[in-house]
Structure 1
Amino acid sequence: MSAVLGLALFSPFLTLPTPALGEPVMIEQAIVQARRRGSCLSLRCNDAEWRLASAIELHGRATDWRSTAPSLPGQRHWVRLSAPARAREHRDNYSNRWRIGTLYGIQVLRDGPVQLGVEFGAGYRLAPRSDDGIGQAGPVFRGSIDFGRQFGERARLSQHVLFETGNGQSFVKQSLGLDIDLWPAWTLETDYVIRHRTYGASGSETAESWLGIRRRF
């Protein structure tokens, strides 16, 4: 009787229909559901998933809970994002203490064991002999070629060719390297660099090499 009396007193404040008298099971279910609603302090109450399931069955199609949940003022909408593929081409404008100019590059090969990239552009050299390049200030044409080849999981061969020309001079730098993974944190590195400068009919050439073991921490 106490349960029936409580439902009769508080039935105007509940959204549930009052069960018929003499049905203890229905009365008990109504009391449990009323307690759940009374103690719900979140935006989704305990019986929200049952309403969602009923709506899905009614419309006959699968529905995402983000699209069926009620929206609140100031609430952000869900947006499905997709990661686009990396572009093969890139453009760059640069300026430093030695040069200013523009650069265009393209990755010809990048997804297999062989990688090939090309860059070229025009600029103006401000300071001669400050970096790899010609020994006179003025307009220049500059570019590079990068080649890489992976051998299995441990060895990689890389070659970088840099060139710059302008004012009757030219500069070429070739770098050849071979890296071999000995252990997970140890790598055997070899580098061989050749620099060639041309001044009119004459020129000069220098070479240097390096061999060492590098440990990664």
Structure 2
Amino acid sequence: MDRQPAAVLFDMDGTLVDSEKVWDVALHELAALAGGRLSHPARLAMIGSSMDQSMRILREDLGQPDRDPGPDVVWIEQRVYELFGSGLVWRPGARELLAEVRAAGVPAALVTSTGRRLVEVALETLGRDSFDVTVCGDEVSRAKPDPAPYLTAAELLGVPIAGCVAIEDSPTGVASAHASGAAVLAVPCELPLAPLDGVTQRDSLRGVDLAFLARLAATAPA
């Protein structure tokens, strides 16, 4: 087999678990409580974004730019916390790939735009010992699409980002991973992805194994 990746860096929502549908429920409920209706384009624009960005999109979409985001953030975090607690559905092939990475002793990181409180609930499904480090959306100074989250993960793992493979599903996440210098495997979930040089795209993680990731890492530009 080709030399193993220095690390595998996993996005969470839409990549490992089908949690975007959970966010969909909560965001539409919040819009209704605010006296409006969340539009489809606005909801799509939120995918892969930080909480601050999502709430800004919501306010603009509802025509309430001066709405206080504080109570909305508290409400939606609690609602998603409840929904996450009911269990999350794995994306096809994700559980198997994560298990293979861990069994091989390859360092793994969870790199997500979701905040720490919700990630802690999601880890009940994903497994707390599945990752050597977790980088959450409220723990970095610059959110995706900035490369900071992925660069932070590589630094915490003590590995070169150029030897890592990042797995993402959204345009925002792919942009972040690609800008970091990692090899990128894109597996679209809710949004289609345009072809991008240096990014390998698959329909799902079914059939993706460590040997495949090793080849990606080996062929990535230095």
TM-score > 0.5, shorter chain as reference: no
Q: TM-score, normalised by structure 1?
A: 0.19
Larger radius of gyration: 1
Structure with greater proportional strand content: 1
Structure with greater proportional helix content: 2
Q: TM-score, normalised by structure 2?
A: 0.19
